[in-house]
Chains A and B, each alone.
Chain A
Amino acid sequence: MKTLLRLLALLAWLIPSAYAAETGYTLKATEVKDKPFLDANTLTTLPEKTTVEILTRQGAWMQIKTADVKQGWIRMLSVRLGSPDQKPQGGGNLLSSLIGSRPRPATTSTVTTGVRGFSEEDLANAKPNAAEVEKMKGFAATPGEATRLAESGKLEVKPVAYFDENGKPLKEKK
């Protein structure tokens, strides 16, 4: 019990800090804005491969700080997670690697031993499991439950049109 409590305390401490620790770097020269809007004031321009610490995310924007910039907003699509000097690290998600719940990504075949997978081989060897589908059906949500989830999560339905590959809105239902 004591061990469990300690573990929970450790987790509670790790989760927020893991978020704060997410880092990335700029894929290209990127303007830093004082607010998360395109027409906001430009504070500075970061050169390519500038390391940034990611503070929060909002829509298209990441709030960041760097060695020189106290804080500002840059476009999410201009950022790659990890470090510009290192090869990408596995899943690239510091949250999971810090907490250690995910086994180290496998770059050698030996590491996959005992991994619960859904590899091509697992798929090839699959035997249909009807009972598991019945179990899945048992977890289904009702429309009422979905609505309550939306209400408690402050999710408001918005009219958003489909768009084509050029980003042009499509008027008609596809």
Chain B
Amino acid sequence: MSALRLAAALSIAAVVLAGCKSGGGFDLKNMDLGNVVKSVGNLREVKEPEEIQIGQSMTETLLGARPLFDDAQLQHYVNEVGLWVAQQSDRPNLPWHFGVNDSDHINAFATPGGFIIITKGMMKQLRNEAELAGVLGHEVAHVNQKHHLKALRKSAFASLLGEGVAGASGKQAELVKNLAGPTKELYARGLDKSDEFEADRMGVVFAARAGYDPYGLPAVLTTLASADPRDNYLTLLYKTHPLPQARLDKLAPGLTTLDAIKAPQNASRFQQYTKNLRVVTK
């Protein structure tokens, strides 16, 4: 199935729908609607190596917006915590990579295949390792559920996905170029709200399975709920996620099932590794 054919089929479908809406005189019998449905349904499953290649390409663009924060010890520590949490997911053997970027904005991102970025600004909001595990757990859940990959299927990149552009071409540079636009669009627009709520529920579970105080993520959401929504550091997070209070409300019924768990927060170790984030620079 060619990309052109899919595009053509979709345009035809759009015209048909528009025609129906306006009550125009289209002859539906002559339209191959079955073919349209088949085309969309035929978007093949993206294989894991290809998913990783797509995620790496998207990460190149995200790190192009802000590079990594210069602290090798901190970066490695976040990778250890992140990997420990990710090993509690359904995809423990992905090549998981975590990074703190040098941004004062408060946010975190995942791309397909196990690349996860947390901003320096978010790190500074956290009190302990259990809160870090909660935030990373939320991002691991996006990868676990392939939320971004599913969102890409709805974007302009969908036809290229159908063609198997990543695996077949093997040309990383070309893939990065093709993905830059859809990546920027996707991370500025955000995922479906239902995906965010699901990632909250799963993230809490991953952190709890990893042996952390399960209330790490809720504690972070409580911090964010107390922030001024007009804060420019939060603009993108608020644009792309449901409001923190709504997330807490949605999470509450499941959280109570974890109340009996008494587990470490590891605050002192976290404070030690993140000390460079709090050095006064001005």
Chain A residues in the interface with B (C-beta under 8 A): 7, 11, 15, 19, 24, 38, 57-60, 76-77, 79-82, 87-93, 95-96, 99-103, 105-107, 109, 111-112, 115-120, 122-130, 132-133, 135-137, 139-141, 143, 145-147, 149-150, 153-167, 169, 173-174
**B257, A167: Cβ atoms closer than 8 Å:** yes
Cβ-closest chain B residue relative to A25: B226
Given A119-B232, A123-B65, A165-B254, 16 new contacts (CB under 8 A) = A57-B265, A59-B263, A91-B231, A95-B127, A106-B232, A107-B228, A109-B232, A120-B235, A123-B236, A126-B65, A127-B64, A129-B63, A139-B76, A153-B266, A157-B209, A160-B258
Chain B residues within 8 Å of chain A by Cβ, number: 108
B208 touches A (CB below 8 Å): yes
Contact of B83 among A15, A119, A146 (CB under 8 A): A146
B interface majority secondary structure: helix
Knowing A80-B222, A126-B64, the reply to whether A139 touches B99 (Cβ < 8 A) is: yes
**A132, B60: Cβ atoms closer than 8 Å:** yes
Knowing A106-B233, A119-B236, A155-B211, the reply to whether A166 touches B64 (Cβ < 8 A) is: no
A159 to B257: give the CA distance in the assembly, Å: 13
**A132, B63: Cβ atoms closer than 8 Å:** yes
Cβ-closest chain A residue relative to B121: A102
Mask: chain B, 117-146; 1 = CB below 8 Å from A; 0 = not: 001110011010100000000000000010
**Which residues in chain B, 43-98, are within 8 Å of chain A measured between CB atoms?**
56-57, 59-68, 72, 75-84, 87-88, 90, 95-98
A110 to B133: give the CA distance in the assembly, Å: 34
**Which residues in chain B, 125-172, are within 8 Å of chain A measured between CB atoms?**
125, 127, 129, 145, 172
B30 touches A (CB below 8 Å): no
Instruction: Report the minimum CB–CB distance from A156 to chain B (whole Å).
Output: 4
With a cutoff of 8 Å between Cβ atoms, the chain B residues found around residue A76 in the complex are 215, 218-219, 222
B32 touches A (CB below 8 Å): no
A interface majority secondary structure: loop
Contact of A123 among B129, B188, B225, B229 (CB under 8 A): B188
With a cutoff of 8 Å between Cβ atoms, the chain B residues found around residue A153 in the complex are 129, 211, 264, 266, 269
A67 to B97: give the CA distance in the assembly, Å: 47
Knowing A119-B236, A122-B66, A133-B63, the reply to whether A88 touches B87 (Cβ < 8 A) is: no
6 contacts between A and B (CB under 8 A): A59-B213, A105-B227, A118-B66, A135-B68, A139-B76, A149-B84
A130 to B60: give the CA distance in the assembly, Å: 5
Knowing A105-B228, A155-B264, the reply to whether A117 touches B90 (Cβ < 8 A) is: no
**B197, A158: Cβ atoms closer than 8 Å:** no
A153 to B75: give the CA distance in the assembly, Å: 18
Contact of B209 among A126, A158, A165 (CB under 8 A): A158
Pick from B3-11, B15-23, B34-42, B100-108 the stretch touching chain A: B100-108
